[in-house]
Structure 1
Amino acid sequence: MSKRQSTENFKLSDPIHFLALGFGSGLSPKAPGTFGTLAAIPVFLLMSGLSLEVYGAVVAIMSLFGIYICGKAATDAGVHDHGAIVWDEIVGYLITMLMLPVTWQTVVVGFILFRIFDIFKPWPISFIDKHCHGGFGIMLDDIIAGFMALGCMHLIF
């Protein structure tokens, strides 16, 4: 089944769907993952003033909560990892930006690197994407993509 299936089973009035759909950004008919990552930028900017410990704790909680909300939204849609589910992209981008200065350059390069890892799925991301299912699988491949992009970001910046 294609990830670009109907979104009729999603209800933005449902808080779980609202979050899983990246505040509605995942409903974009083209490139919902890219729009979900764009939705992560203001979240990152709001969180950028937090201490490393608090930032890390918030991202960890968002990751754990994401397992539930992504799994529930996928079940409600009847499609594993429906393209409109972009909470995982938000968390992946927040990981990408961990311990980096807030400049337009880091925001843009982090966005590009995360999207490259998320779209092309080099190993081990591709392995996780194919072999892990449910909310855990939806979240894990983007978490790994975020850490791979984070490594590149720290080499660059």
Structure 2
Amino acid sequence: MSARARVTFPPARWVTHGPGRLIAFGFGSGLLRPASGTWGTLLAWLIWVAAAPAASDLALAIFLAVAFAYGCWACQRVARELQVHDHVGIVWDEMVAFWLVLWLTPDTFAAQLLAFGLFRLFDIAKPPPIKYFDAKVKGGFGVMWDDIVAAAYALLVMAIVVRLGVFA
């Protein structure tokens, strides 16, 4: 059994005590098991569908930058409190990275579903250099960065699929 699998989850009351914890745990979605990262990514998708259509590209870009920066701080703080570098319940990194993917993905259910699958595949499989970043880059930036790289992989595949006319 891996060290990640043996990690204990804090109680919901602990998670909801303070905005940093609540954000890092994806508004509580990080407490869902199994596959906390997938639950956080699903919540991110629901939030995106509800909120993004009303926002301009500039507003979304600013939101993503702020969400990433705040995530670096919140994830580092919560990881330090839990004494686990990248606790499986910390899902804000998946949420922000998937919002980046959705921002650059066609606004169709089929495209977003494929993007979801690709992002989860790359986030879980961690092909190089994602695995390297996950293991070597520490702190809140490290928690956030490997998911941004997984998002870049998903976006590369999505760009090829879109270019091939799959969603035309």
CA shift for structure 1 position 2: 2.0
Deviations 1:84-103 (Å, cap 9, x if unpaired)? 00000001101111233321
- Which ranges of structure 1 fall in alignment gaps of 5 or more residues? none
Equivalent position to 1:120, from 122, 125, 148: 125
CA shift for structure 1 position 143: 0.8
Equivalent position to 1:13, from 14, 17, 33: 17
Secondary structure, aligned partner of 2:43: helix
TM-score with structure 1 setting the length: 0.93
Q: State the one-letter code of the partner of 2:67.
A: M
TM-score with structure 2 setting the length: 0.87
Cα RMSD, aligned residues only: 1.5
Deviations 1:5-27 (Å, cap 9, x if unpaired)? 11227422321111111111110
Secondary structure, aligned partner of 2:4: coil
- Which ranges of structure 2 fall in alignment gaps of 5 or more residues? 163-168
Contact 1:7–1:77 under 8 Å retained in 2: no
Deviations 1:70-115 (Å, cap 9, x if unpaired)? 1111111111100000000001101111233321112211110100
| In structure 2, C-alpha distance between the alignment counterparts of 1:87 and 1:108, rounded to whole Å | 20
Aligned to 2:3: 2
Aligned to 2:47: 43
Contact 2:104–2:155 under 8 Å retained in 1: no
| In structure 1, C-alpha distance between the alignment counterparts of 2:53 and 2:146, rounded to whole Å | 24
Equivalent position to 2:34, from 20, 30, 35: 30
Change (3 A) 1:151 1:60: same
| In structure 2, C-alpha distance between the alignment counterparts of 1:56 and 1:78, rounded to whole Å | 32
When Rg is computed on C-alpha atoms for both structures, the one with the higher figure is 2
Q: State the one-letter code of the partner of 2:153.
A: M
| In structure 2, C-alpha distance between the alignment counterparts of 1:99 and 1:88, rounded to whole Å | 17
Contact 1:21–1:87 under 8 Å retained in 2: yes
Secondary structure, aligned partner of 2:90: coil
Secondary structure, aligned partner of 1:97: helix
Aligned to 2:165: none
Secondary structure, aligned partner of 1:62: helix
Q: Matched residue pairs, number?
A: 157
Contact 2:15–2:25 under 8 Å retained in 1: no
| In structure 1, C-alpha distance between the alignment counterparts of 2:73 and 2:53, rounded to whole Å | 25
| In structure 2, C-alpha distance between the alignment counterparts of 1:97 and 1:147, rounded to whole Å | 11
Equivalent position to 1:86, from 88, 91, 99: 91
Deviations 1:103-149 (Å, cap 9, x if unpaired)? 11122111101001100111111111111011010000001111211
Secondary structure, aligned partner of 1:13: coil
Aligned to 2:81: 76
By relative contact order (CA 8 Å, sep 6+), the higher-ranking structure is: 1
